[in-house]
Structure 1
């Protein structure tokens, strides 16, 4: 199992590297001001973190109310992820359109592109992280 310090390093590294790639990528691909994209990316990172915190509390409360337990099957995990992303999209879409001065449709396309980026990035980042910082082997007990 990973230590709290390792989890903190993982989280901070994920956010910082993701933000740098996203800021440079969007500013270059769409010829947008890097500072404007940077502010937006940091704000969205904060929004996503806060939304994640409250969403998970609400989701667990709903599960307890409707099922009486918190065990999440694969199907529930899929539903959990989809509802999280739709909630985040609902929150960020108007901000994205307003901040960049684009239509809601253009903002939706850009936002969906960011979702795809983060899905791929999370997969690659976690593979690389596990190679660079392997999970310490658990000590086995002798019975």
Structure 2
């Protein structure tokens, strides 16, 4: 699969599942109408979708330059921490304004989402890689040649 197609498919699937889970969870957690929290989930997912694409492009560029190929647990953890850490910084103001809470309250509220999404990001990426295969950036040179049919 081409890298751009892979990134788009991964991001869209990731966010579709996230909206389906997060919308109802936010409604329960903040005692807000589901229509409001679903809207917030869509806005947050839109931010996350853009960040997902940018972050994965940067991560794969970095990954290509690494001498050790593959996606070890440590590399998957680094991926999850980098992605979620950047996302938290972007989403605190969104949650604060939408829910009419302070940035500190939004940060605390975001910790629960962070915990969920940290494991979700790692698990989702692992499942996605198992279903669609590793990206070229994570393949050993020999495996890349075998997959692409040449050096």
Q: TM > 0.5 between the two?
A: yes
Tell me the TM-score normalized by structure 2. Answer: 0.60
Give the aligned CA root-mean-square deviation in angstroms.
3.8
Aligned length: 123
Write the mapping of 1:120-135 to structure 2, written as runs, cut at 5 A. Answer: none
Contact between 2:52 and 2:83, CA under 8 Å: does it hold in 1?
yes
- Structure 1 segments (4+ residues) deviating >3 Å: 10-18, 118-126
Residue of structure 2 in register with 1:118 after alignment:
117
Q: Which moved more, 1:111-120 or 1:76-85?
A: 111-120
Residue of structure 2 in register with 1:108 after alignment:
107
Tell me the TM-score normalized by structure 1. Answer: 0.63
Residue of structure 2 in register with 1:139 after alignment:
none
1:47 aligned onto 2:47: yes
Cα shift at 1:29: 2.8
Deviations 1:82-133 (A, max 9, x none): 111111111111111111111112111221211223355678889xx9xxxx
**SS of equivalent to 1:32:** coil
Q: Following the alignment from structure 1 to structure 2, what is the Cα–Cα distance between the partners of residues 84 and 69? A: 19
**SS of equivalent to 1:102:** coil
Cα shift at 1:25: 2.2
Residue of structure 2 in register with 1:57 after alignment:
57
Q: Which has the higher contact order (CA 8 A, sep 6+)?
A: 1
